[in-house]
Amino acid sequence: MSLHIFAQGLPDPGAPARSVASRQFESLAELEALAGVTDRAAFWRRFFVYPEETRLVRGQGELERLVRERIRNGEVPPTETERERTLRALRQSARGFLEPSQPDVAPYPQVLDALASAADAARAAGASPTEIIDASEGLEH
- Range 101-110 contact pairs with CB under 8 angstroms and sequence separation of 24 or more: none
pLDDT at residue 26, rounded to an integer? 76
Same domain, 75 and 93: no
Contacts of residue 95, Cβ cutoff 8 Å, sequence gap at least 6: 137
Residue 40 lies in a domain: yes
Residues 63 and 89 grouped into a single domain: no
Q: What is the structure's pLDDT at 63?
A: 93
The answer to whether 42 touches 59, Cβ cutoff 8 Å, is no
The phi and psi torsions of 115 (rounded to 5 degrees) equal -65, -45
Task: Decide if 66 contacts 36 (C-beta within 8 A).
Answer: yes
Does residue 141 surpass a pLDDT of 60?
no
pTM to 2 decimal places: 0.61
Q: Are residues 39 and 67 in the same domain?
A: yes
Average pLDDT over residues 40-58: 88
Residue-range definition of the domain harbouring residue 28: 1-79
